[in-house]
Structure 1
Amino acid sequence: MDLAFLHPLYEHPGPWASVYVDLSRHPQDATRQRRLTAEAMSRELAGQGADEATCRAVRNAIEELKDSPEPHGRALFARAGAVVLDPPLARAPRQDRALWAPLPRATPLLDLTGEDAVAVVAYIDRRGADFELRSALTRETAGSVTGRQWPVHRTSSADWSERHFQLRVENTWEHNAAEIADALAVCQEETRADLLILVGDDRERRSVHERLPKRLHERVVDARHGAGSRLLDGDVEEARATHVRRRAEAELERFLAARAPDDEGRAEAVEGVPALVEAAREHRIDELVVRPDGGDTHREVWVGEDADQLAVRRTELKILGEQNSWSARVDDALLRSAVATDAAVISLAPAEAAGEQDVPVGGLGALLRWT
């Protein structure tokens, strides 16, 4: 998951208000319901010690969502009387919730916005293709390509002139497939799409697939729909969910392999809170691996103002020279460190195998930049 959008949360000190609002229900009295939600979240924050200006900013921001067309929900992060970040959610939260804490409660974003696979759907026929950008939050046109328009149909005659015509038809198909593949590769690069879903007859799909750059082959999904068909939301969602699950399973396998020590007893992955805290302090985390239901995710650690100021015990921070420290959830502290050091972060929630074993131990692990 690309966490660059979270940088504003760590450019200012806390405490922070973190609010998750479900927008998946659209009652007729939406204005009244949003007002009630706004008041409830504001009271919840005030009860936890939030200042009035921040409570008011959150209340106003939620009330402004009364006409929002968003299908899932919104997260709000506020401090000092202002909403600093309000990303839309790719999945609805289980319930509306609000928290006032030293660090932003950002870890739920891994599952509510993270791994929202973006797909480019290419509707292919013999003359060209139309591209459509699809995600949990997006459905929009993404361009088109038009190839040679004549000739594109073959005949059944065995006459020499007809065979020559068929050869020209074959050449036209090959030319069009190459142009579609080139345009699709450019579209993927511009949109940074995770998936390329090809829709059309078998031959046209195969011709385009073969001409795509090899780096994109593993991103391709063939939709079993003929030319002229349009994919339903459920078709795209299934392809996106399969992609996310397979990626999570692949990262889990990579973590399992990396945590096995080499001949010298060194491992390229660690798990457990003490080892992770040490790796975060030393900027050694290359990818943070999170299983949201893990038993250690809610454990408290001590943090300072900077991302690498974290420790299992408060006295450790004082030894490191940090005079001000606060108690915070370890998953949020590690997430702040990952964002600050440009480390990758992945949730194992989509991985089917992750629910069958305690991996990583306690729900938190990391692949290391160096051992």
Structure 2
Amino acid sequence: MDLAFLHPLYEHPGPWASVYVDTSRPAQDTARELHLTARAMARELAQRGADEATCRAVRDAIEELRHSPDPHGRAFFARGGAVVLDPRLARPPQGGSRAEWGPLPRVGPLLDLAGEDPVAIVAYVDRKGADFELRSALGRREAGAVVGRQWPVHGAGGADWSERHFQLKVENTWEHNAAEIADALSVCQEETRADLLIMVGDQRERHEVRGRLPRRLHERVVEATHGFGSRLLDEDVEQLRAEHVRDRIDEELGRFRAARSPDEEGRSGAVEGVPALVEAAREHVLEELLIRPEAADAHREVWIGEDPDQLAARRTELKALGERHSWSTRADDALIRSAVATDAAALSLAPVAPLTEDDAPTGGLGAILRRR
């Protein structure tokens, strides 16, 4: 998960309100349900020590969802009487809506709820052109169409010269159309930054278009066997998107396992466990955090100062670094703050659970390091 969108959360000190709202269950009176949720979340924040202005800002923001309901939910991060960030969720928060108040934004759940949500372009291809759909957890929308040359597009039987000449025209028309479709699909991917390209159509037509795509897109292509004219069902697309997520996590776990082994100079390119991760964060060498959200180390207490690299496994260690003000917080949230500050990424391993310690970081927290 690219964490760049979280930067606004670390431009000001806490404490922070972190609220996850579940909007996945349809109700006859959505406005009333949101009103009740807004009051409950504000009350919960107040009981945890949040100031009245921040409670009010969160309550008002939740009530505003009645004008633009989300299919799964929304997260709200607020401080000082204002909501600073409100990302949409790709899946509902487990256990329903909840609110927390603490020194750092509670961003760990975002890795599962808004993290690996691949955007897919579904391209319905035939010899006359193609229709594109954009699919994600937030729904679907049309993403354009390509209309190629319309004549001739079907071959003729027989073997005399005129029929062979006609067949050549057919092939030329289809090759032209395949190139047009590939160009348009490439542009659509650039504009939408889609992670996955799902090709639907006859086998030859899919292959012709795929072969004309830029090399950089080849690994993003998945071919579906449905014929043109039948739209993929939501469950078909969700299965392909889930497989893409699992493949990506497997690839990153493979990198992590390989980086565990020391090089010729005895240095490892990966670390695991809170003390080693804290040291790597302070040295600004995190490339990608790997997190099992429910594992023991994710919940472990660490100590933080005002700056992202003021981080320690023990409070006395932070004082030794010269930090006079310190707060305790969860290890995953503290490490994510450090990752954001140094433009590192983070990945939840939950979609491929259960994992053994041989497959995943010991304790549930690990990182691939930047080369030094």
TM-score category of the 2 structures, normalised to the smaller one: over 0.9
Q: Which residue of 2 aligns with 1:38?
A: 38
Q: Which residue of 2 aligns with 1:217?
A: 218
TM-score, normalized by length of structure 2? 0.96
- Is residue 2:112 matched to residue 1:111? yes
User: In the TM superposition, what whole-angstrom CA distance separates every residue of 1:249-301 from its partner, at most 9, and x where no partner exists?
Assistant: 11111111111222432110000000000000110001111111211101111
**Cα distance in 2 between the residues matched to 1:356 and 1:262:** 21
- Per the alignment, in what secondary structure is the counterpart of residue 164 of structure 1? helix
Question: Against the structure 1 CA distance between its residues 132 and 175, is the aligned structure 2 distance closer, same or farther, given a 3 Å change threshold?
Answer: same
**Cα distance in 2 between the residues matched to 1:214 and 1:364:** 35
**Does structure 2 conserve the Cα–Cα contact (< 8 Å) formed by 1:133 and 1:140?**
yes
Q: Which residue of 2 aligns with 1:75?
A: 75
User: In the TM superposition, what whole-angstrom CA distance separates every residue of 1:285-334 from its partner, at most 9, and x where no partner exists?
Assistant: 01111111211101111111111111112222222222211111110000
- Residues 270-349 of structure 1 aligned to structure 2 (within 5 Å): 270-349=271-350
**Does structure 1 conserve the Cα–Cα contact (< 8 Å) formed by 2:257 and 2:359?**
no
**Cα distance in 2 between the residues matched to 1:205 and 1:369:** 39
**Does structure 2 conserve the Cα–Cα contact (< 8 Å) formed by 1:245 and 1:352?**
no
**Does structure 2 conserve the Cα–Cα contact (< 8 Å) formed by 1:304 and 1:322?**
yes
**Cα distance in 1 between the residues matched to 2:274 and 2:131:** 49
**Cα distance in 1 between the residues matched to 2:173 and 2:59:** 60
**Unaligned ranges ≥5, structure 1:** none
- Is residue 2:147 matched to residue 1:146? yes
**Does structure 1 conserve the Cα–Cα contact (< 8 Å) formed by 2:202 and 2:227?**
yes
How far 1:79 sits from its partner (Å)? 0.4
- Name the amino acid aligned to 1:7: H
- Residues 114-263 of structure 1 aligned to structure 2 (within 5 Å): 114-263=115-264
- Per the alignment, in what secondary structure is the counterpart of residue 115 of structure 2? coil
Q: Which residue of 1 aligns with 2:267?
A: 266
TM-score, normalized by length of structure 1? 0.97
Question: Against the structure 1 CA distance between its residues 121 and 317, is the aligned structure 2 distance closer, same or farther, given a 3 Å change threshold?
Answer: same
**Does structure 2 conserve the Cα–Cα contact (< 8 Å) formed by 1:147 and 1:179?**
yes
- Is residue 2:53 matched to residue 1:56? no
Q: Which residue of 2 aligns with 1:85?
A: 85
**Cα distance in 1 between the residues matched to 2:173 and 2:7:** 50
**Does structure 2 conserve the Cα–Cα contact (< 8 Å) formed by 1:249 and 1:352?**
no
How far 1:67 sits from its partner (Å)? 4.2
- Per the alignment, in what secondary structure is the counterpart of residue 121 of structure 2? strand
How far 1:115 sits from its partner (Å)? 0.9
**Does structure 2 conserve the Cα–Cα contact (< 8 Å) formed by 1:121 and 1:131?**
yes
Question: Against the structure 1 CA distance between its residues 353 and 221, is the aligned structure 2 distance closer, same or farther, given a 3 Å change threshold?
Answer: farther
**Cα distance in 2 between the residues matched to 1:353 and 1:258:** 21
**Cα distance in 1 between the residues matched to 2:200 and 2:60:** 44
**Does structure 2 conserve the Cα–Cα contact (< 8 Å) formed by 1:252 and 1:354?**
no
**Does structure 1 conserve the Cα–Cα contact (< 8 Å) formed by 2:286 and 2:370?**
yes
**Cα distance in 2 between the residues matched to 1:304 and 1:202:** 58
With 348-357 and 325-334 compared, the bigger mean Cα shift is at 348-357
**Cα distance in 2 between the residues matched to 1:207 and 1:289:** 38
**Cα distance in 2 between the residues matched to 1:263 and 1:277:** 24
**Cα distance in 2 between the residues matched to 1:33 and 1:190:** 37
Tell me the matched-pair count. Answer: 371
**Does structure 1 conserve the Cα–Cα contact (< 8 Å) formed by 2:253 and 2:359?**
no
With 192-201 and 182-191 compared, the bigger mean Cα shift is at 182-191
**Unaligned ranges ≥5, structure 2:** none
User: In the TM superposition, what whole-angstrom CA distance separates every residue of 1:97-140 from its partner, at most 9, and x where no partner exists?
Assistant: 11000000001000000010000111111011111111111422
With 56-65 and 339-348 compared, the bigger mean Cα shift is at 56-65
**Cα distance in 2 between the residues matched to 1:358 and 1:100:** 34
- Per the alignment, in what secondary structure is the counterpart of residue 139 of structure 1? strand
- Name the amino acid aligned to 1:281: R
User: In the TM superposition, what whole-angstrom CA distance separates every residue of 1:46-78 from its partner, at most 9, and x where no partner exists?
Assistant: 111111111111111112223433110010100
- Name the amino acid aligned to 2:28: Q
Question: Against the structure 1 CA distance between its residues 71 and 357, is the aligned structure 2 distance closer, same or farther, given a 3 Å change threshold?
Answer: farther
**Cα distance in 2 between the residues matched to 1:198 and 1:162:** 31
**Cα distance in 2 between the residues matched to 1:99 and 1:355:** 31
User: In the TM superposition, what whole-angstrom CA distance separates every residue of 1:119-171 from its partner, at most 9, and x where no partner exists?
Assistant: 01111110111111111114222222222221111011211100110011111
- Name the amino acid aligned to 1:334: L
Q: Which residue of 2 aligns with 1:12?
A: 12
Q: Which residue of 1 aligns with 2:362?
A: 361
Question: Against the structure 1 CA distance between its residues 355 and 237, is the aligned structure 2 distance closer, same or farther, given a 3 Å change threshold?
Answer: farther
- Per the alignment, in what secondary structure is the counterpart of residue 354 of structure 1? coil
Q: CA RMSD in A?
A: 1.4
**Cα distance in 2 between the residues matched to 1:40 and 1:197:** 42
How far 1:32 sits from its partner (Å)? 2.2
With 32-41 and 287-296 compared, the bigger mean Cα shift is at 32-41
**Does structure 1 conserve the Cα–Cα contact (< 8 Å) formed by 2:287 and 2:370?**
yes
Question: Against the structure 1 CA distance between its residues 355 and 118, is the aligned structure 2 distance closer, same or farther, given a 3 Å change threshold?
Answer: farther
Identity of aligned residues (%): 74
**Cα distance in 2 between the residues matched to 1:84 and 1:57:** 10
**Does structure 2 conserve the Cα–Cα contact (< 8 Å) formed by 1:249 and 1:348?**
no
With 158-167 and 314-323 compared, the bigger mean Cα shift is at 314-323
